Amino acid sequence: MNWHDGESFIAIGIAATVIRYLRRFLETEKRLPGWDRYLKQTWLTGLILMALGEIFPDPWLIWYELIIIFSIVYTISQLYEFRPARTLLLAIGPYAFVLIFKDLLEHLAPKFYKANDDYVDSTSTFAIIWFLTFVVIAYNQKKSLAKAQLEHEKELEQRRIIEAKKNELEYLVAERTAEITRQKEELEQTVTELKATQNQLIQSEKMASLGELTAGIAHEIQNPLNFVNNFSEVSIELIDELTEEQAKSDRDHELEAELLTDLKQNLQKISHHGGRASSIVKGMLQHSRASTGQRELTDLNALADEYLRLAYHGLRAKDKAFNATLKTEFDTSLGEISMIPQDIGRVLLNLFTNAFYAVQQRQKKGEDAGYQPTVTISTRCANEEAVVTVSDNGTGIPEAVVQKIFQPFFTTKPTGEGTGLGLSLAYDIVTKGHGGTLEVASKEGEGTTFTITLPA
């Protein structure tokens, strides 16, 4: 091998280029820093072997190729978990085998090589195509991995931000907890005093919605009071006009009669609206009085109808825009039932209030064109039991929630709109207080039906 033989320098240049590409592609400077130092000196090994080739007759180029191939295989074996590295080995393997086989055949069997050089060249061409194809595949794999790594780093950064927020929230929670603990210590004395009246308070507030209903009816009282005030002011003006007319020397008797007629009508209206306000107050007092705990023969149909109207007008007092269809299907042969009317009234009031709330929420969503809120109450006698059914076509209750609907303090309403005690107390009143049953059937998005059975 001659020093001036261009093939030697070309071989060293190609090998150095391949190793350089391999180092950059596999990032050996970062992944294998110790081995990367030797890869940098591969070209020096070629020069040494080329110099030895001038002294010894053995072909130095084959040895150099073997060293290059060993370096590549060893490098990839160290990075076997790196998928593009395995693909690169698959690309280089056939090409390296053909290259070494070709050089060995050329030096060891030159006649056979010359006789079959076309086949060898074809094999070399196929090996080059194979090499380039899998190099492209490895490059695409590396791009995909780099993209995935970038996304992973973004995810880690997001996690870091979330962790920082979490730590900040934990600090705020700890700070808030300390404040709550301090407030708790301040309230302990008050809690001790309230425990003595706790049972009485729960009993008197069996319906969590009763307070809201009372507030709504109180707003309803404002309407007749406004009429009373307005007609009173107008009546005072009429009396002033009448007094002025009577003081005149030429009195207009027709005008006086007209003023007296207007005054009489105003007084009648004042009396009418005053009576209306009085009836509302009496109704409030009657429905909010404490239970006596004594059973009475009660007309269940009348009781149900009364509380249905009360619940509806209570909601209307708070939401003037709300309207609903009330359907009653009473069994007139039911007769009077032995019950505690105040307690059963509270149960019915809770069911009605929940039904109106459900249809109101569905109406607010506005998802169904032509939707008409409807609440239905029906009674019947079956198997010596009085059966009361309260149905609505409101939002319905999810199946997972139905199993927990009678648990204390469980509510599907937003915070501040329900205590979670209404249905729990209603269930206890019906089952424990009256030996009956309270069941619920619901389909989300279609409506809910509560069924009460009482011994008749």
Q: What CATH number is associated with residue 385? A: 3.30.565.10
Q: Are residues 276 and 307 in the same domain?
A: no
Q: Round to whole Å and give the CA distance between 326 and 305.
A: 10
- What does the pLDDT look like over 245-279, one tens digit per residue? 788 878 877 887 888 888 888 888 888 878 777 76
The answer as to whether 190 is a domain residue is no
Predicted confidence (pLDDT) at residue 194 exceeds the cutoff of 50: yes
The answer as to whether 94 is a domain residue is yes
Containing 439, the helix (H) or strand (E) segment is strand 437-443
Name the residue with higher pLDDT: 383 or 448. Answer: 448
The answer as to whether 209 is a domain residue is yes
Q: Are residues 19 and 149 in the same domain?
A: yes
Q: Are residues 312 and 456 in the same domain?
A: yes
| pLDDT-derived band at 16, boundaries 50, 70, 90 | low
In single-letter form, the type of residue at position 32 comes to L
Q: What does the radius of gyration of the chain's CA atoms come to, in whole angstroms? A: 47
Q: Are residues 378 and 281 in the same domain?
A: no
The answer as to whether 170 is a domain residue is no
Boundary residue ending a domain (290, 322, 345): 290
Q: Are residues 453 and 305 in the same domain?
A: yes
The answer as to whether 117 is a domain residue is yes
Q: Are residues 307 and 417 in the same domain?
A: yes
* Torsion angle defined by CA atoms of residues 313, 318, 322 and 327, in that order, rounded to the nearest 10 degrees: -20
Q: Report residue 15: phi and psi, to 5°.
A: -60, -45
Boundary residue ending a domain (158, 189, 210): 158
DSSP track, 135-174: HHHHHHHHHHHHHHHHHHHHHHHHHHHHHHHHHHHHHHHH
* Torsion angle defined by CA atoms of residues 228, 234, 235 and 241, in that order, rounded to the nearest 10 degrees: 170
Mean pLDDT of 344-350: 88
The answer as to whether 29 is a domain residue is yes
| Beta strands 325-329 and 374-382, pairing class | parallel
- What does the pLDDT look like over 35-86, one tens digit per residue? 777 667 665 665 555 555 545 455 555 666 667 777 777 777 777 677 777 7
Handedness of CA 230, 232, 234, 236 (dihedral sign): negative
The two three-digit tokens of residue 103, written as one number: 């050089």
Q: Are residues 235 and 346 in the same domain?
A: no
pLDDT on residue 366: 80
| pLDDT-derived band at 310, boundaries 50, 70, 90 | confident
Predicted confidence (pLDDT) at residue 372 exceeds the cutoff of 80: yes
pLDDT on residue 387: 94
In single-letter form, the type of residue at position 167 comes to N
CB neighbours (10 Å) of residue 19? 21
> Cα dist. 187→14, 176, 184, 208 in Å?
85, 16, 5, 24
The answer as to whether 214 is a domain residue is yes
Q: Round to whole Å and give the CA distance between 378 and 219.
A: 30
Asked whether the beta carbons of 326 and 311 are under 8 A apart, the reply is no
Q: In terms of DSSP H, where are the helices of 196-299? A: 198-204, 210-247, 253-288
Q: Are residues 149 and 216 in the same domain?
A: no
Average pLDDT, the chain: 77
DSSP 433: I
DSSP 5: -
| pLDDT-derived band at 441, boundaries 50, 70, 90 | very high
Residue 282's SS3 state is: helix
Query: Is the pTM of the predicted complex or chain greater than 0.75?
Result: no
In single-letter form, the type of residue at position 373 comes to P
Q: Round to whole Å and give the CA distance between 272 and 101.
A: 118
The number of domains in the chain is: 3
Q: Are residues 35 and 109 in the same domain?
A: yes
Boundary residue ending a domain (268, 290, 312): 290
Handedness of CA 284, 427, 353, 212 (dihedral sign): positive
Asked whether the beta carbons of 397 and 442 are under 8 A apart, the reply is yes
Q: Are residues 397 and 282 in the same domain?
A: no
Q: Are residues 300 and 448 in the same domain?
A: yes
Q: Report residue 3: phi and psi, to 5°.
A: -60, -30
Domain range for 146 is 6-158
Residue 194's SS3 state is: helix
Q: Which residues contact 351 (CB under 8 A, 6 or more apart)?
A: 390, 426, 450, 452
Q: Are residues 352 and 232 in the same domain?
A: no
The answer as to whether 186 is a domain residue is no
- Which range among 13-17, 91-95, 292-296, 432-436 shows the weakest confidence by mean pLDDT? 13-17
